[in-house]
Amino acid sequence: MAYQALYRVWRPQTFHDVVGQEHITRTLQNALIQEKLSHAYLFSGPRGTGKTSAAKILAKAVNCEKAPVSEPCNECEACLGITNGSIPDVIEIDAASNNGVEEIRDIRDKVKYAPSSVRYKVYIIDEVHMLSIGAFNALLKTLEEPPKHVIFILATTEQHKVPLTIISRCQRFEFKRISTASMVERMKEITDAQNVVVEENALPLVAKAAEGGMRDALSLLDQAISFSGDKVTVEDVLSITGAVSQQFLVDTVHALIERDVVKALQAVDQLIKLGKESARFIEDLIFYFRDMLLFQTADHLEGMLERAIVDEQFINLTKSTSSSYLYKIISQLNECQQEMKWTNHPKIFLELTLVKICQRTSSDNSGTDGSNQQIESLIERVRQLEEQIKEWKKHGISPSTSKNVSSETNATEKKKNDSASLRTKKTSIGPIKEMLKGATKQDLSWLTSQWGEFLERLKGREIAAQAMLIDAKLVAASPTAFILAFKHEFHCQMALTNKRDIIEMMLKETVGKELKMLGLTYDEWEQVKQDFIKEQKEDTEEIQEEDPLIAEAKKLFGSDLIEIKD
């Protein structure tokens, strides 16, 4: 028999084999035992996390000759036939290549016929988000009320592309990325069964490179086994994944912290000679510095480290580096990573970034040096203050007098700060008052009528943004903008800064036109509303009190040319 890839040989055949998705497998097993099966399921999540495998296992379990069971027996004719694909009543459809209306209409026509070999006819539609709008519409009615002998299982990596009308007719299960520990455990089980010798730290590197996908991990492991021969080593895994060794990474990090430009640039040169990718190296550096920051903050979270191995070198580097410098270096590396996506010369961006990091100012130095400088500065400041107090005493100024002087100074400073704060507040309130001049009750009523549908759409796209708007109230609207009053200042700031784009985009999709979002707290809105009403009233009274003769003159010649004298 021809060789089969590891991920095919070791594809899960029972719910027990589906790694890292216990919250889903347990729910499905309980439903099978209690015979409370839904007519439609939606499995969503990242690639290689077990969606299609779980769908096939569910198809076997409902049709197993020993049903009701929590696991398929994999021994009866039904289980064996579904496993090898010989039973026509379990149909797998790839929506990427069968995404037209005609294919779905064919399903709709055949779904009414009873299964010929097993109890349930099961349709597994993979990558369902690839269906066209017409195909989704054709599927809609069948999905809502299929015959009793039919079960639909839809699988997708991009749930946000599936229409809400389809999602609402399914039981939803969110597959999550598989943890590194779970993948290592599963790979250890496979290598033991295959009699493959693997170095201790090799499997964690494979798991980290797979980024949460079990299928990717097994493909990389398969490649490493073919590459290595007798024993899979850490160097073998680094070669096939494009990553660099731990020592190479440590040496580069040490060069950056010590501001050694020569060593940093030599590291880049060696990296290219080894055939490694600059983008992958930047990613490794970001994760290493992130691990340093995490370990510095909470050293008991060793299990959450992505790239670093906690040894004496790592601990010493972490202790000798300030957290502020780690923040700056991660920020610079992130910028470099973004710029690399749009260039044909990633090596140049990498070299420039490392040079910039090495040429930092003395204020960005390591934590110990920075602390010593701060302490020396404070000691010098205290000495100067002591000298100043001695001078005051010589000239007969008592401590109480100096206290009064200090109080007056503080009061003046406070007054300045309050004035600055007030100016800032007025600046932010200005656009809101301008918008209120064009606001109408009709616009507010129209937008309010569609607000519920907008929130539902937003929830499907980004639930975090929708959560911020739950306590917010729509208080005013014009043809081009709207104002939201928030219960909490934090939600207001987050919505206006981090979530503005998604909110305005989803609102445009809902109402059909572009509206700008303005926001403030409930208390601020009440104050702004009162001030605006008062200003409008004063303007109206001023217009009414103006002399008719003067008003007529302004119309004829313009207010700039008119000079009024009593």
Reported as a single tens digit per residue, the pLDDT across 343-397 is 778 888 888 888 888 876 444 544 444 455 556 667 777 777 777 777 776 666 5
Instruction: Write out pLDDT tens, residues 546-556.
Output: 566 666 666 66
Closest CA relative to residue 364, chosen from 237, 256, 461: 256
| Single-letter amino acid code for the residue at 88 | P
The top-level CATH class assigned to 435-545 is: alpha beta
Q: Which is more confidently placed, 381 or 289?
A: 289
Report how far residue 450's alpha carbon sits from residue 256's, in angstroms, rounded to the nearest whole number: 54
Q: Which is more confidently placed, 262 or 411?
A: 262
Q: Of 154-158, 224-228, 297-301, 527-531, give the lowest mean pLDDT range.
A: 297-301
CATH of domain 180-241: 1.10.8.60
Choose the CATH number for 246-360 among 1.20.272.10, 3.40.30.10, 3.40.50.2000, 1.10.3720.10.
1.20.272.10
* pLDDT-based confidence at residue 124 (cuts at 50, 70, 90): very high
Q: Of 3-7, 26-30, 481-485, 535-539, give the lowest mean pLDDT range.
A: 535-539
Query: pLDDT exceeding 90 applies to what percent of the chain?
Result: 16
**pTM for this prediction:** 0.57
Q: Name the residue with tokens 């007030």.
A: 422
* Three-class HEC string of 124-151: EEECHHHCCHHHHHHHHHHHHCCCCCEE
Burial state string for 385-413 with b = 16 or more CB within 10 A and e = fewer than 16: eeeeeeeeeeeeeeeeeeeeeeeeeeeee
Report how far residue 38's alpha carbon sits from residue 50's, in angstroms, rounded to the nearest whole number: 20
Q: Which is more confidently placed, 300 or 147?
A: 147
Instruction: Write out pLDDT tens, residues 89-112.
Output: 999 998 888 878 888 888 888 888
The top-level CATH class assigned to 6-174 is: alpha beta
**Dihedral of the alpha carbons of 53, 56, 61, 64, in degrees to the nearest 10:** -130
- Count other C-beta atoms under 10 Å from residue 484's C-beta: 21
Query: Which three-class secondary structure state does DSSP give residue 150?
Result: strand
